[in-house]
Amino acid sequence: MKPRSKRYAWMAGTALLVLLGAYWLWTPDQDLPSLEARYLAAPGDLVELDGMRLHLRDSGPKNAPAVIMVHGFGGSLHSWEPWARALSSNHRVIRFDLPGCGLTAPDPSGDYTDARSMQLLIALMDRLGIARASIVGHSIGGRIAWTFAATHPERVDKLVLVAPDGFASPGFEYGRAPEVPFSAELMRFVLPKPLLRMSLEPAYGNPTFLSDDLTTRYHDLMLAPGSRDALLARMRQTTLVDPIPLLQRIQAPTLLVWGEADAMIPYANSGDYLKAIPHAKRVSLPGVGHLPQEEAADESIAAVRDFLK
């Protein structure tokens, strides 16, 4: 074979390998009816709210004190299942998927800022006839929750923050949207389940807690139509502000729930919240990671239940 022919053969072989690799790794959206068959508890859990289709679950006595739960980045209302079961005997527990997460459709407005999330939270409370509620938020849901408590104190009874986001970390600056890395952009096209599992494992103090079923749920719901585009849009539109002036305005009694082995938002940040929030206390969970409501459900909900009494 001539050198040029060898080169062309090598190029053709390389191109074929790249195409085969792309075909193997390419991860299309899943069919929405199939996802709803697996993860929708009742058709009535899909409601029209402020121009969009919202997925929620509303459990417990309707005349009981209300608790509203806001999940974190890439999560869904299913993350709160153990806590919701434990609280529903004495509270009205409302969980919902943020726009473009779980089974909630992407926001037609394309707005994924915290201001839009709080607008939807008020619309949800008004629709359900809830004047005041205790707000529970995890990670970015925690940031939404404490910002809501600071800016709408008349709507908040108590505040539970589970490893909340808000203080700047590497890659984030106050007043400036972050640069979304190219590897994250690739998520729109390439998200095989083993790769997602690798990215989820550091969220748990004990990585073996991440079962195949749990990984499958996260993977399935991230493949809902439009979900990955919505997650990337939320990343691009996240502009942090100095949290301390807002945190100091919070009037609601506040409970911080934090795993000491949190590799996503460091446990040390809990001290900053304790200093800034006037009526805050902390529950620390040794050996637990970023998702205590999943990984240490019984231990963490005991403190939350006592706090909400």
Q: Within 129-203, where are the H helices?
A: 140-151, 182-185, 193-200
Question: What are the b/e assignments for 151-169, b being 16+ CB within 10 Å?
Answer: eeeebbbbbbbbbbbbbee
* Res 18 pLDDT > 50: no
Return the closest-CA partner of residue 255 out of 305, 309, 304, 288. Answer: 304
Residues 169-217: pLDDT tens digits?
Answer: 766 778 887 788 877 788 888 999 999 999 999 999 999 999 999 999 9
Q: Which tokens go with 148?
A: 């809501």
DSSP 85: H
The pTM (predicted TM-score) of the whole model is: 0.90
154-159: average pLDDT: 98
What ranges do the domains of the chain cover? 1-30, 31-308
Query: Is CATH 3.30.420.40 correct for 31-308?
Result: no
**Measured distance CA(179)–CA(235) in Å, rounded:** 9
The C-alpha atoms of residue 57 and residue 73 are separated, in whole angstroms, by 19
pLDDT, mean over the chain:
91
**Tens digits of residue pLDDT in 218-258:** 999 999 999 999 999 999 999 889 999 999 999 999 999 99
Label residue 11 by pLDDT band (50, 70, 90).
very low
